[in-house]
Amino acid sequence: MFTEISMTNFKSWRDTGAVRMAPLTAFFGANSSGKSSLLQMLLLLKQTAESNDRKLVLNTGSIQTGYVNLGTAQEITYSDETEMSLSINWQLNSQTQVVIPSPDNSMAQTIDCLNFETNIHVESQKIHVKSLKYEQGDEFSVEMDRKGNNQYTIRISVQGNEPRRPSHRPRVYMRAEKCYGFSDEALLYYQDASYLRFLEFAFERQFQNLHYLGPLREYPQRAYPWGGERPTNVGLKGERAISALLAGKSDKVYDAIRKSKSNRLDARIAQWLVDLDLASSFRVEQIADSTLYQVWLKRTEESPEALITDMGIGVSQVLPVLVLCYYVPEGSTIILEQPELHLHPSVQAGLADVFMDCIKKRGLQIILESHSEHLLRRLQRRIAEQENDLSPDDAALYFCQIHDGESKLTPLQLNVFGEIHNWPHDFFGDLLGELVAAFDAGLDRKQMQVNGS
């Protein structure tokens, strides 16, 4: 799970400061206030980690491929700045824990959380790593610095001591690979630096477990192809949601009612569509012996069964969100942009219950950008009710705004009663002002009618 991120001189952010990440992290604010850029930093690192080109410092994407297309090197930096920094802290799971031998080989240290920071220089459409660093508190650190001509020196500290180098090995220069990795020469620098590869693996594994669903989901189809493949997620626009559902329909997921894993994936999705009052039944049916499948639903018990294309847009928009939340492996991180799009306010509120169920029962981390007051209000209510033992520490809520030409972030102060102490001005528009203006206009119009009679 990501526990903290920060960045300087990235897009509209001169400096975010340390941004605490929680099991549920939500960014609110007006359009073009910098919310998406916070998510794009993580997606930029993800597509860089997945790139096959180890000399490419940052994979800013393209129109055809990638999670984000951020354009040229100059377009990803704030104003006229030439240097940016990206920093993430995360907890390692048992599969990615790194074991570091002590300098005197007396004991080994297990790393279960990491801080990573990279400083990047941008000049004339070229990007190079100025420095990169991994560390766990004061116990362990690895730092590389650029000394010119794309050559770097490395420093390692374990419990305050530097590992020994064999006397017959001269100091060597090495390269940074991508924005987070070490070239083979780094392994020759110290007698035993094989754990450098495990640091890279921990970084890549963290982003492998990061899944993303964009705001513009695919329109419903009358038939969906599936050839038996098992996708890793539902696609950037939810285009693989039905394939994922078919591939994992027999997977056992946590059943909040029975408190067991006896509930199948397809049954859990069907139950949420009922709970959200979007359908009374849901099934995916194969067309004869073909590789095509159709999605059938009933709006109410008395309604005739209909294809998803004849049920309105809402079901097709929420379905990828539900499938993603219950399809990805437990402990994954999910990024969602405006999951509430095209949904009725009551369904928007219900999404908060979906997210809380996945956080508590599946160990997911959900990071989202939203404009939904209804989603936030349900979250506040559940915290006050202690639903699913949700506490204010389980949520990190932020308000983004533009001030003097740069994005600024305000952490919202949420207490155990579900109250936000520092509610920003016009957080969701001026609802009270609209009501007062409408009331005054109505009075004026009635007075004109009286005078006219």
Question: Exposure pattern of 268-295 as b/e (b: 16+ CB <10 Å)?
Answer: bbbbbbeebebbbebebeeeeeeeebbb
CA separation, residue 248 to residues 212, 231, 269, 286, 409 (Å): 18, 9, 12, 15, 39
CA atoms of 58 and 127, how far apart (whole Å): 8
**In-domain check, residue 268:** yes
Report the candidate in 27, 135, 8 with the shortest Cα–Cα distance to residue 76. 8
Separation CA 3–CA 5 (nearest Å): 7
Residue 361 CB contacts under 8 Å (≥ 6 apart), including other chains:
254, 256, 388
Does 271 fall in a domain? yes
Residues 6+ apart with CB under 8 A from 111: 92, 97, 98, 99, 100, 136, 140, 202
300 within some domain: yes
Q: How many Cβ atoms from other residues are within 10 Å of residue 112's Cβ?
A: 12
Position 198 in a domain: no
Q: Which domain holds residue 280?
A: 219-328
CA distances from 82 to 40, 126, 127, 128 (A): 19, 10, 9, 11
- The two structure tokens encoding residue 279: 């359908």
Q: How far apart, in whole angstroms, are the C-alpha atoms of residue 43 and residue 315?
A: 27
Closest by CA position to 208, among listed 365, 333, 99, 369: 333
Neighbours of 389 (CB within 10 A): 8
**Residues 109 and 139: beta-carbon distance below 8 Å:** yes
Q: Which residues pair with 5 in a beta bridge?
A: 19, 88
Report which of 297, 293, 275, 276 is spatially closest to residue 285, judged by C-alpha positions. 293
Give the sign of the dihedral formed by CA 323, CA 327, CA 331, CA 334.
Answer: negative
Contact 48, 418 (CB under 8 A): no
Residue 145 vs residues 148, 149, 174: alpha-carbon distances, Å: 9, 12, 10
When divided into structural domains, the chain yields a total of 1
Residue 231 lies in a domain: yes
CB 388 within 8 A of CB 374: no
Asked whether residue 238 is domain-assigned, the answer is yes
Token pair belonging to 202? 């921990």
pLDDT of the residue at 431: 53
| Residue 307: closest CA among 342, 274, 279, 328 | 279
Rounded Cα distance, 244 and 48, in Å: 25
No. of helices (H) and no. of strands (E), the chain: 9, 24
Q: In degrees rounded to 5, what are phi and psi of residue 92?
A: -90, 140
Position 33 in a domain: no
Q: Which residues contact 272 (CB under 8 A, 6 or more apart)?
A: 322, 354
Cα-based distances in Å from 112 to 4, 96, 135, 181: 15, 8, 11, 19
Q: What is the pLDDT of residue 42?
A: 97
pLDDT at 453: 62
What does each of the 453 residues of the chain score in pLDDT, given as a tens digit?
A: 999 999 999 999 999 999 999 999 999 988 888 999 999 999 999 999 999 999 899 999 877 678 999 988 888 999 888 999 999 999 988 778 788 877 666 667 788 899 999 999 988 778 899 999 999 988 889 999 998 777 888 888 888 887 766 555 556 668 899 999 998 888 777 767 788 888 999 999 999 999 999 998 999 999 999 999 999 999 999 999 999 999 998 888 865 445 555 578 999 999 999 999 999 999 999 999 999 999 999 999 999 999 999 988 899 999 999 999 999 999 999 999 999 998 999 999 999 999 999 999 999 999 999 999 999 999 999 999 987 788 999 999 999 999 998 999 999 999 999 998 888 877 776 555 555 566 667 777 777 777 776
Q: Is residue 368 part of a domain?
A: no
